[in-house]
């Protein structure tokens, strides 16, 4: 087989066979095909896309390039949850204990954050002693005991994706829908769960800016999932302002704990109940979404979801006292407020700018190996649609370094778009996609 012929085929919009895809991926992993030829092929895919056959084959080959986690020792249906990411997205931390308290087993393998969005693993590492590099055997044992555990990808999970992703990152080929779909789904398939619930976000703080791209990505991931005999649901939601009020590792963890104490922000609660109820359907715990929502509200109200987080923290070596008393979590040395120069209504809070500002304060990584400051970040005091007076607080910055504060002050202030008229309401959750197609969310 000849790699130049394969590149030319894709360049001329022809379908690649499973053998050709396998040849390319194996050749790249073994270093017999160089970066520059793979880059050319990725760019041809960027322009010409991939059909459903190619997509299914590429994903499966990437998934099988490493270990496929065997979760069969855990009884019942195992459901995985994933988000394409966003600013202030602490959903996983709140959601896992909720659905686990409702009886669903959720073995969650998560990544660290890069760029303007934070990673679940980083947020959880705000808890002293919390270990995320458990062995797969210990991970499975914990899920068997308490229904949930979260570990980092500390083993060869879809190594072909890891290598390709690094190349896409430097060749302008990240934003290709088939390449994103196969990248995410290869890791989900290798993760071994029976069913998948994926939150695809769109808007300024998300990976994809446009609604139609989010729908397209969702459809492609459903196709790949179902093809691999994994029931797959996609929840499409908007990320045109940060989720909740807190952005930054320890601050986000505290907000997730508040939600489990039934004091969480409305938007975070809405998305947790929606995704959680779909997970309960996927796991066969309930048949209808409204029943799932009822159970999830109940486990928050009776404290079982909060207790579940404490159990998970204890089993993973973390200090439970910090969950009971979040004041004990890492705290920045300084706090300062940002004030509004205008009176009016908040029309928009540019999520990307807030995410970047939080990263510049030290909460996120600019490079893969950067160290992060778990204590810093931003607490929003206003959200879209709120009225604001001149001189009122828009946000509070938590920081440890005065130079960094100076750098981000104006960026945070200008992320707030304040106008005279109240903005029109736009829903947070806009679509649900499964094997039957795309539909508007309907809880009745
Ligand atoms: N997340 C992934 O895992 N892969 C992509 O390509 C994009 C987002």
Residue 183 annotated among the catalytic residues of the structure = yes
The domains of the chain are located at: 3-48, 79-325+431-439, 330-419
* Predicted local distance difference test score (pLDDT) of residue 207: 84
pLDDT > 90? residue 256: yes
How far is Cα of residue 42 from the mean position of the Cα atoms in its chain?
24
pLDDT digits (tens, 9 = 90+) for 112-142: 776 777 789 999 999 999 999 999 999 999 9
Ligand 1 centroid to residue 320 C-alpha, Å: 32
| DSSP, residue by residue, 238-251 | E-SS-SSSEESHHH
Residues 6+ apart with CB under 8 A from 284: 76, 77
What are the residues facing 419 on neighbouring strands?
A: 345
Q: Whose CA is nearest to atom 5 of ligand 1?
A: 180
CA of residue 420 to ligand 1 center, whole Å: 39
Domain 3-48 sits in CATH at 1.20.970.10
Helical spans, DSSP H, in 64-119: 91-101
Q: Which atom of ligand 1 is nearest to the CA of 179?
A: 6
Give, using CA atoms, the residue closest to atom 7 of ligand 1.
180
Residue 168 Cα: closest atom of ligand 1: 6
The separation between CA 174 and the C-alpha centre of its own chain, rounded to angstroms, equals: 16
Whole-number Å distance, alpha carbon 264 to ligand 1 midpoint, is 28
Confidence at residue 444, expressed as pLDDT on a 0 to 100 scale: 58
Active site annotation includes 422? no
* Shortest-distance Cα residue to atom 3 of ligand 1: 184
Q: Of all helices (H) and strands (E), which one includes residue 212?
A: helix 211-227
pLDDT score, position 155: 75
Let me know if 102 is exposed, middle or buried by CB neighbors in 10 A (0-12, 13-18, 19+): buried
**CATH no. of 330-419:** 3.90.1170.30
Residue from 119, 198, 200, 207 to probe ligand 1 pocket by mutation (most atoms less than 8 Å from CB): 207
| Residue 182: how many other CB atoms lie within 10 Å | 31
Coil, strand or helix: which one is 157?
coil
Which residue from 152, 176, 180 has its CB within 8 A of the most atoms of ligand 1, so it is best to mutate?
Answer: 180
Nearest to 294 by CA among 93, 98, 94: 98
CB neighbour class for 297 (10 Å; exposed up to 12, middle 13-18, buried from 19) = middle
CA of 67 to the centre of ligand 1 (A): 19
- What is the distance in A from the centroid of ligand 1 to the CA of 302? 37
Told to judge if 409 belongs to the known catalytic residues of this protein, a careful annotator would answer no
**Could you give phi then psi for residue 437, rounded to 5 degrees?**
125, -160
The pLDDT tens digits of the residues spanning 344-399 come to 999 999 999 999 999 999 998 877 777 899 999 999 999 999 999 999 999 999 99
* Measured distance CA(399)–CA(71) in Å, rounded: 42
Task: Exactly one of 10, 82, 230, 365 is catalytic; name it.
Answer: 82
Going from the Cα of 166 to the center of ligand 1, the distance in angstroms, rounded, reads 11
Measure 180 CA to ligand 1 centroid, in angstroms. 5
Pocket test for ligand 1, best of 55, 84, 173 (most atoms within 8 A of CB): 84
Q: Is 333 a catalytic residue?
A: no
Catalytic-role residue among 161, 194, 267, 350: 161
CB 79 within 8 A of CB 104: yes
Cα separation, 29 vs 31, in Å, equals 5
**Pairing mode, strands 437-439 and 429-434:** antiparallel
CB neighbours of residue 216 within 10 Å: 18
Residues belonging to the chain: 444
The protein residue with its alpha carbon nearest to ligand 1, atom 6, reads 180
pLDDT tens by residue, 43-95: 999 999 999 999 999 999 999 999 999 999 999 999 999 999 889 999 999 99
- Mean pLDDT within 242-263: 97
Cβ-contact 108, 143 below 8 angstroms:
no
Q: Which of 411, 368, 403 is nearest to 170 (CA)?
A: 368
Distance in angstroms (rounded) separating the CA atoms of residues 86 and 104: 25
Beta 231-238 vs 195-202: how paired, if at all? Answer: parallel
Cα separation values, 424 from 138, 385, 417, Å = 49, 8, 14
Confidence category of residue 169, pLDDT binned at 50, 70, 90: confident
How many CB atoms neighbour CB 26 within 10 A?
14
Active site residue 168: yes
User: Of 163, 187, 230, 382, which is the active-site residue?
Assistant: 187
Token pair, residue 45, equals 């895919």
The pLDDT value given to residue 53? 94
Determine the Cα–Cα distance for residues 37 and 24; give it in Å rounded to an integer.
10
pLDDT of residue 114: 66
Q: Report residue 73: phi and psi, to 5°.
A: -70, -15
Lining ligand 1 with CB less than 6 A are: 84, 165, 179-180, 183-184, 207
Average pLDDT, the chain: 95
- Residue 13, token pair as written in the block: 């919009």
Looking at ligand 1, which atom is closest to the CA of residue 187? 3
Among the residues of 283-338, which ranges form H helices? 289-301, 304-315, 321-324
Greater confidence, 108 or 207? Answer: 108
Proportion of the chain in helix, strand, coil states, percent, rounded to 5: 45, 15, 35
Nearest alpha carbon to residue 406 among 355, 352, 357: 357
Kindly report the three-state secondary structure assignment for every residue of 166-206: HHHHCCCCCCCHHHHHHHHHHHHHHCCCCEEEEEEEECCCC
Choices 3.40.50.1220, 3.40.50.2000, 3.40.1030.10, 3.40.50.2300: CATH for 79-325+431-439: 3.40.1030.10
Which residue's CA is the nearest one to ligand 1's atom 2?
184
């Amino acid at each position: 087989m000849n790699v130049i012929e394969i590149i030319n085929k894709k360049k001329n919009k022809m379908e690649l066979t499973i053998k050709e895809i396998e040849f390319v991926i194996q050749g790249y992993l073994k270093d017999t095909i160089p970066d520059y030829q793979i880059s050319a092929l990725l760019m041809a895919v960027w322009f010409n896309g991939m059909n459903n056959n190619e997509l299914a084959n590429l994903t499966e080959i990437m998934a099988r390039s490493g270990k496929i986690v065997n979760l069969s020792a855990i009884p019942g249906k195992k459901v995985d949850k994933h988000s394409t990411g966003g600013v202030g997205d602490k959903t996983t931390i709140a959601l896992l204990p909720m659905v686990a308290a409702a009886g669903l087993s959720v073995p969650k393998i998560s990544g660290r954050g890069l760029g303007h969005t934070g990673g679940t693993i980083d947020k959880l590492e705000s808890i002293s002693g919390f270990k995320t590099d458990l062995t797969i055997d210990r991970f499975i044992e914990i899920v068997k005991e308490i229904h949930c555990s979260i570990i980092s990808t500390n083993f060869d999970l879809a190594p072909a994706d890891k290598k390709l992703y690094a190349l896409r990152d430097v060749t302008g080929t990240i934003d290709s829908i088939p390449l994103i779909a196969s990248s995410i789904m290869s890791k989900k398939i290798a993760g071994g769960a029976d069913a998948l619930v994926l939150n695809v976000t769109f808007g300024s703080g998300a990976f994809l800016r446009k609604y139609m791209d989010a729908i397209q990505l969702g459809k492609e991931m459903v196709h790949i999932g179902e093809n691999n005999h994994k029931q797959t649901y996609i929840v499409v939601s908007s990320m045109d302002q940060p989720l909740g009020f807190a952005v930054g590792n320890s601050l986000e963890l505290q907000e997730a704990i508040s939600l489990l104490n039934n004091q969480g922000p409305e938007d975070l609660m809405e998305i947790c109940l929606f995704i959680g109820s779909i997970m309960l359907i996927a796991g066969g715990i309930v048949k209808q979404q409204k029943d799932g929502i009822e159970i999830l509200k109940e486990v928050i109200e009776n404290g079982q979801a909060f207790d579940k987080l404490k159990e998970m923290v204890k089993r993973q070596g973390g200090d439970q006292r910090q969950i009971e008393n979040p004041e004990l979590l890492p705290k920045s040395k300084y706090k300062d407020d940002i004030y509004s120069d205008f009176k009016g209504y908040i029309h928009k809070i540019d999520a990307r700018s807030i995410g970047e500002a939080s990263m510049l304060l030290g909460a996120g990584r600019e490079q893969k190996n950067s160290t992060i400051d778990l204590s810093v970040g931003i607490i929003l005091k206003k959200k879209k649609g709120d009225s604001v007076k001149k001189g009122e607080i828009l946000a509070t910055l938590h920081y440890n370094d005065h130079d960094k504060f100076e750098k981000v002050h104006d960026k945070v202030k200008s992320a707030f778009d304040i106008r005279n008229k109240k903005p029109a309401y736009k829903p947070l959750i806009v679509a649900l996609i499964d094997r039957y197609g795309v539909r508007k969310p309907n809880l009745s």
